[in-house]
């Protein structure tokens, strides 16, 4: 791993970078184009000094790290990121990490930033979008890598090219704690029988807004035994979500209604078989209940096969620097 503020050569795949890399190789007499600046600089060093001096050396990305003391936003600020970039990264990681639950003091955030032309590593702009980011939580590391489309819009993907811009939100509300986990065999606190618990119970004050975790159609809204007031959403196949023990439904919601991700659909309560106010939340994949806290969620803006292969090579280079 590179030391704080050390200079490290790396780049990330973008359709716009391919032409730039080819231009560099033409100028130095290299045999093939490369997306990686380090490779281009190595080619320059192989040329006579007079040839190398004809091409201005590209500014090199830098690796920076910070230890979390209180929050992701606080660590991002110490790394020199502005609020826009911090929000972009928080959204990108939202499908992988619950910052309130998973991020602890002592965890580490590392990133690779492209240094602006003509500036030193210590003068990296706060508006620079990181090429790669790693959040280390205990023994687990979460890595994301930047990709820009032809319009220059930034997206973050895992090393294998999976999108992290969720079409699903992991959590449907601002909860206080998980009061009951997903389980295939649990002693029900109300019926006192051993049975499966097909979702998670998220404790929150009565009246807390509950949000749709993905776009969908209301397949059921009403009362059911055990669930109390419940909403079932038919989401893009093969997903379906269930929201139970609600105190009331959002106004205007009815069977067949279309909802969007993040829309308030109801409010926390304790209707049905509930020992206190909480949301019982289920995620079904192909009609099979899955643990909502760990189930793989679909992303947006997938890369095609060619882009994914090129992206993976550059992501491997960056991962070696983190």
pLDDT tens string, the chain, 322 residues long: the values are 433 333 233 334 454 444 444 444 444 443 333 334 444 343 334 444 444 444 455 567 789 999 999 999 999 999 999 999 998 898 888 778 888 778 999 999 999 988 666 555 445 555 678 999 999 998 889 999 998 877 788 888 888 888 777 688 889 999 999 998 888 765 666 656 767 789 999 999 999 999 999 999 999 999 999 999 999 999 999 999 999 999 999 999 999 999 999 999 999 999 999 989 999 999 999 999 999 998 988 776 667 788 888 888 888 888 888 8
For 233-287, the DSSP string reads: EE-STTEEEEEEEEEEEPTT--TT-EE-TT-EEEEEB--SS-SSSEEEEEEEETT
Q: What are the respective helix, strand and coil percentages of the chain, to the nearest 5?
A: 20, 30, 50
pLDDT at residue 224, rounded to an integer = 96
Name the DSSP class of 53. T
pLDDT at residue 136, rounded to an integer = 94
pLDDT at residue 292, rounded to an integer = 94
- pTM more than 0.75: no
Q: Which of these, 298, 274, 304, lies nearest to 179 by C-alpha position?
A: 274
CB neighbourhood size of 290 (10 A): 17
Domains and CATH numbers, the chain: 1-166+299-322 (3.10.450.350), 177-290 (2.70.70.10)
- Which phi and psi angles does 18 have, rounded to 5°? -60, -45
Determine the Cα–Cα distance for residues 40 and 51; give it in Å rounded to an integer. 13
Radius of gyration of the chain (CA): 24
- Contact status, residue 164 vs residue 92, Cβ threshold 8 Å: yes
> Where do the H-state alpha helices sit in 30-186?
37-45, 49-52, 72-78, 83-93
pLDDT at residue 67, rounded to an integer = 95
pLDDT at residue 48, rounded to an integer = 45
Determine the Cα–Cα distance for residues 41 and 280; give it in Å rounded to an integer. 56
């Amino acid at each position: 791993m590179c030391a704080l503020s050390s200079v490290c050569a790396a780049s990330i795949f973008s359709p716009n970078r391919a032409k730039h890399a080819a231009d560099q190789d033409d100028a130095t007499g290299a045999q093939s184009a490369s997306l990686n600046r380090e490779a281009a600089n190595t080619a320059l060093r192989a040329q006579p000094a007079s040839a190398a001096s004809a091409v201005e050396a590209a500014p090199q990305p830098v690796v920076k790290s910070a230890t979390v003391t209180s929050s992701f936003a606080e660590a991002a600020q110490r790394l020199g990121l502005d609020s826009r970039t911090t929000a972009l990264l928080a959204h990108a990681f939202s499908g992988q990490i619950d910052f309130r639950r998973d991020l602890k003091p002592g965890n580490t955030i590392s990133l690779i930033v492209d240094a602006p032309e003509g500036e030193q590593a210590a003068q990296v702009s706060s508006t620079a979008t990181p090429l790669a980011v790693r959040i280390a939580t205990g023994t687990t590391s979460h890595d994301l890598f930047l990709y820009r489309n032809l319009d220059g819009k930034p997206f973050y993907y895992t090393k294998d090219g999976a999108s992290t811009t969720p079409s699903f939100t992991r959590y449907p509300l601002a909860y206080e704690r998980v009061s009951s986990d997903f389980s295939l065999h649990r002693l029900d606190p109300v019926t006192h029988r051993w049975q499966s618990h097909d979702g998670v119970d998220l404790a929150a004050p009565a009246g807390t807004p509950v949000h749709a975790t993905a776009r969908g159609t209301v397949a059921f809204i009403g009362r059911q035994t055990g669930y109390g007031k419940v909403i079932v959403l038919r989401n893009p196949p093969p997903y379906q979500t269930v929201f139970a023990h609600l105190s009331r439904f959002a106004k205007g919601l009815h069977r067949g209604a279309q909802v969007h991700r993040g829309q308030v659909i109801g409010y926390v309560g304790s209707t049905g078989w509930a020992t206190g106010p909480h949301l019982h939340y289920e995620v079904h994949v192909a009609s099979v209940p899955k643990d909502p806290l760990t189930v793989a969620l679909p992303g947006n803006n997938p890369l095609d096969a060619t882009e994914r292969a090129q992206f993976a090579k550059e992501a491997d280079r960056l991962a070696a620097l983190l």
